C-alpha cells in the first residue's frame, strides 16, 4: 500500500489577497513616523536627537528579525511564524497608539519592527502553495503592495494625526494588520515544516548584536550632552566595545552564525558592505533632515509645513525610490554594478550638496530629496544584486543578512549624527535649530557619500549577464 503523503493544499486568491492586505498595512504602519516626526517631537517634547532615535528603532528591529524569521519559517512553517510575528506587531502598534510618552513610543516601535519579517514569510507561503510561475507573480505583487502601503502611510499619516490625533495614525493600520492576520490564519493552509536545516539558531549572536546596536544609538543620542554627562557616555562606549568583542567571538564559533564574519574577507562582500554603509549614512541624513527643515516656521528660515504637507512633499521621493529598484536591475544587467553604483553616488552627492547650498524654495528641497531617494535606490539595489550573484547559492542568505545589518547601521549612524547636530545647534529656550546646522548636515553627508567613489574604483567592471 502506498504511503505517499497528499500534496499540500493550494492557496486561493482570497489567501493571496490576505497576504497583500497585510503587506499594505505593514508598509503603512512602518512609514507613518517620518512625515509626522516634527509633530511627534512637539507633542512629546523630544529633542532632535530623540527624534532621530525614534526614526530608526523600527529599522534596527527589522534588520535583526528578518533573517531569523526566514529561518524559523523554513523550519516550523511560514503561516505559524507569520501569525505569531504579526501578533507582536499588533501589540507594538497598540503600544505606539496608546503611548503617553517617548519611552512607550520607542517600545512600540521596537515591537513593530517585527513587521519586516513578514515579507520573507509571505514569500515562503507563496512558494509552497503556488506553482513556480504563479508564485513569482505573487511575490512581486506582495513586494509592490508593501511599497504601496508605505506611500499610503506617508500620505495619510499627516491628515490622520492632525484631523484626529497622533494615536490614530498608529491605531488604524494596526487594526488592519490584526484583521489581515486573522484572515491569513484562516484562509491559508498549514504548510509543513522544512526538514533541511536543523542547525541551532544563533540566539547568542542575535542578542549581542541587538545590544550593540542599541548601545551605539544611545551613545550617539547622548553625544550632544558629552560636556555635562561625560561618564555616562564613556560607560556606553565601554559597554559597546565589550558587546562588539563578545559578538565577534560568538559569531566566529557559531555553527550557523547570524552574520558570517569570514565572508567579509571576500572582496565583493567587504566592498559592498563599505559602500552600503557610506551610502546609507548620506541617505539617512536627508531622510531625517528634510522633514525637520520643512517644519521650521516661516518666521525663521523654514516653510512651516504641517504633517500633511510634509507627507505630500515626501511622496515624489517615495515614488522615485520605488522606481529606482527595477531601473537599477536593468542597469546592472546592461552596464554592470560598478557603473550603476557610480552613477548613483554622483546623483546622491549632487542632491545633498545641492540642497545644502540652495533651499530657499520648497521645490528646491523636493527635487533634491527625490534625486537622493532615486540615487539611493539605484545604489542599494545594485549592491544587493552584486552580492547575490557573486557568492555561492548556499551563502546568499548569510551574505544578504550581512549587507542588511550594514545598511541599518549606516541609516542609524546618519540619522543620529544629524539629530545630534540639530540638538547642539538649538539655542537655549528655542525649539528651532540654527540654519547652519542643516547646511552642515547636508554637506557632511555629501562628503561622506563622495568617499564611496574611492571604493567603487576597486569594483570589477563586468556586466552580470
Greatest pairwise CA separation for the chain in angstroms: 85
- Contact between 120 and 66 (Cβ < 8 Å): yes
Q: Report the candidate in 70, 461, 405, 378 with the shortest Cα–Cα distance to residue 264.
A: 405
- Give the whole-angstrom CA distance, residue 443 versus residue 445: 5
- Give the whole-angstrom CA distance, residue 358 versus residue 365: 8
- Contact between 461 and 338 (Cβ < 8 Å): yes
List, in sequence order, the alpha helices (H) in 188-260: 203-222, 230-253
Place of cell 486568491: 13
Using the Cα atoms of residue 107, residue 244, residue 266 and residue 453 in order, give the sign of their dihedral.
positive
Q: Does the pTM of the predicted model rise above 0.85? A: no
Phi, psi (degrees; rounded to nearest 5) at 444:
-60, -45
Higher model confidence: residue 98 or residue 200?
A: 98
- Give the whole-angstrom CA distance, residue 453 versus residue 459: 10
Query: Is the predicted pLDDT of residue 206 greater than 60, yes or no?
Result: yes
Query: For residue 280, what pLDDT is reported?
Result: 87
Identify the band that residue 347 occupies on the pLDDT scale cut at 50, 70 and 90. Answer: very high
Q: Report the candidate in 204, 288, 289 with the shortest Cα–Cα distance to residue 249.
A: 204
- Give the whole-angstrom CA distance, residue 104 versus residue 95: 7
Class of domain 259-465: mainly alpha
Query: For residue 463, what pLDDT is reported?
Result: 46
Of the given ranges (43-52, 250-259, 270-279), which has the lowest mean pLDDT? Answer: 250-259
CATH number for the 10-190 domain, one of 3.40.50.450, 1.20.1250.20, 1.10.3720.10, 1.10.15.40? 1.20.1250.20
Query: Is the predicted pLDDT of residue 443 greater than 90, yes or no?
Result: yes
Identify the band that residue 333 occupies on the pLDDT scale cut at 50, 70 and 90. Answer: confident
- The 10s digit of each residue's pLDDT in 351-403 is 999 999 988 889 999 999 999 989 988 887 777 777 766 666 555 556 666 77
Whether 10-190 and 259-465 share one fold: the answer is yes
Per-domain boundaries in the chain: 10-190, 203-255, 259-465
Q: At what angle do helices 307-335 and 267-295 cross, to 10 degrees?
A: 160
Numbers of helices and strands, H then E, in the chain: 17, 0
- Contact between 213 and 412 (Cβ < 8 Å): yes
Identify the band that residue 175 occupies on the pLDDT scale cut at 50, 70 and 90. Answer: very high
The DSSP symbol for 8 reads P
Place of cell 531569523: 68
Identify the band that residue 5 occupies on the pLDDT scale cut at 50, 70 and 90. Answer: very low
- The 10s digit of each residue's pLDDT in 86-109 is 888 899 889 989 988 888 988 888
- Give the whole-angstrom CA distance, residue 37 versus residue 108: 15
Amino acid at each position: 500500500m502506498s504511503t505517499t503523503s497528499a500534496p499540500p493544499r493550494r492557496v486561493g486568491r482570497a489567501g493571496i489577497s490576505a497576504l497583500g492586505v497585510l503587506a499594505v498595512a505593514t508598509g503603512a504602519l512602518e512609514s507613518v513616523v517620518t512625515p509626522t516626526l516634527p509633530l511627534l517631537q512637539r507633542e512629546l517634547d523630544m529633542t532632535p536627537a530623540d527624534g532621530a532615535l525614534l526614526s530608526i528603532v523600527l529599522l534596527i528591529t527589522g534588520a535583526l528579525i528578518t533573517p531569523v524569521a526566514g529561518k524559523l519559517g523554513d523550519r516550523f512553517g511560514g503561516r505559524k511564524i507569520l501569525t505569531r510575528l504579526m501578533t507582536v506587531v499588533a501589540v507594538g502598534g497598540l503600544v505606539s497608539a496608546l503611548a503617553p510618552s517617548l519611552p512607550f513610543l520607542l517600545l512600540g516601535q521596537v515591537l513593530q519592527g517585527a513587521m519586516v519579517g513578514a515579507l520573507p514569510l509571505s514569500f515562503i507561503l507563496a512558494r509552497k502553495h503556488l506553482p513556480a510561475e504563479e508564485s513569482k507573480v505573487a511575490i512581486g505583487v506582495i513586494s509592490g503592495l508593501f511599497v504601496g502601503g508605505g506611500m499610503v502611510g506617508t500620505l495619510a499619516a499627516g491628515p490622520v494625526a492632525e484631523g484626529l490625533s497622533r494615536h490614530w495614525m498608529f491605531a488604524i493600520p494596526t487594526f488592519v494588520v490584526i484583521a489581515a492576520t486573522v484572515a491569513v490564519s484562516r484562509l491559508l493552509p498549514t504548510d509543513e515544516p522544512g526538514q533541511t536545516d536543523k542547525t541551532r539558531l544563533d540566539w547568542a549572536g542575535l542578542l549581542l548584536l541587538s545590544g550593540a546596536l542599541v548601545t551605539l544609538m544611545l551613545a550617539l543620542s547622548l553625544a550632544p550632552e558629552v560636556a555635562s554627562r561625560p561618564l555616562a557616555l564613556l560607560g556606553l562606549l565601554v559597554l559597546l566595545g565589550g558587546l562588539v568583542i563578545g559578538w565577534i567571538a560568538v559569531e566566529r564559533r557559531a555553527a550557523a552564525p547570524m552574520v558570517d564574519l569570514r565572508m567579509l574577507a571576500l572582496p565583493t562582500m567587504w566592498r559592498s558592505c563599505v559602500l552600503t554603509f557610506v551610502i546609507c549614512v548620506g541617505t539617512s541624513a536627508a531622510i531625517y533632515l528634510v522633514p525637520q527643515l520643512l517644519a521650521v516656521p516661516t518666521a525663521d528660515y523654514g516653510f512651516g509645513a504641517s504633517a500633511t504637507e510634509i507627507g505630500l512633499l515626501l511622496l515624489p521621493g517615495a515614488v522615485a525610490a520605488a522606481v529606482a529598484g527595477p531601473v537599477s536591475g536593468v542597469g546592472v544587467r546592461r552596464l554592470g554594478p560598478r557603473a550603476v553604483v557610480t552613477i548613483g553616488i554622483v546623483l546622491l552627492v549632487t542632491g545633498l550638496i545641492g540642497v545644502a547650498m540652495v533651499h530657499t524654495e520648497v521645490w528646491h528641497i523636493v527635487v533634491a530629496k527625490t534625486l537622493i531617494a532615486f540615487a539611493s535606490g539605484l545604489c542599494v539595489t545594485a549592491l544587493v544584486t552584486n552580492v547575490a550573484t557573486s557568492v555561492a547559492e548556499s551563502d546568499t542568505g548569510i551574505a544578504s543578512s550581512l549587507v542588511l545589518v550594514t545598511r541599518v547601521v549606516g541609516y542609524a549612524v546618519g540619522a543620529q549624527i544629524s539629530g545630534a547636530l540639530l540638538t547642539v545647534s538649538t539655542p537655549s529656550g528655542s525649539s528651532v535649530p540654527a540654519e547652519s546646522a542643516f547646511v552642515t548636515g547636508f554637506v557632511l553627508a555629501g562628503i561622506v557619500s563622495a568617499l564611496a567613489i574611492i571604493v567603487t574604483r576597486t569594483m570589477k567592471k563586468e556586466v552580470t549577464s
